[in-house]
């Protein structure tokens, strides 16, 4: 079993740390997941600032990949939400 739509505390809609999610996935017998945390961009809002730190995000995924080894496949993705000016 796998799940390729997982949000973590890097998204505004989730407060669960990546490590907790990985541990729970392993305990449930899930073999692989892909974190797909949100980057939300509203073009209609002037001077919008996207608060997403890709360096921290990548560092945490890579740390967890190293810790889980081959028993659990961990992938990194993003969900890009773009609302254009209408």
**Is the CB of residue 74 less than 8 Å from the CB of residue 31?**
no
Single out the residue of 34, 18, 42, 38 nearest to residue 79, CA to CA: 38
Which of the pair, 59 or 82, is modelled with greater confidence? Answer: 59
Check: pTM over 0.85? Answer yes or no.
no
| CB of 75 closer than 8 Å to CB of 4 | yes
Domain boundary assignment for the chain: 2-83
Q: Could you report the per-residue pLDDT of 39-76, keeping only the tens digit for each?
A: 776 655 666 666 677 889 999 999 999 999 888 999 99
């Amino acid at each position: 079993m796998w799940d390729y739509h997982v949000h973590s505390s890097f998204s505004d809609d989730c407060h669960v740390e990546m490590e907790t999610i990985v541990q729970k996935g392993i305990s449930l017998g899930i073999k692989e997941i892909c974190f797909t945390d949100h980057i939300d961009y509203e073009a209609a809002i002037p001077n919008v600032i996207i608060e997403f730190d890709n360096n921290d995000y990548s560092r945490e995924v890579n740390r967890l990949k190293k810790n889980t080894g081959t028993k659990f496949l961990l992938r990194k993705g993003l969900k890009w939400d773009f609302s254009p000016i209408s």
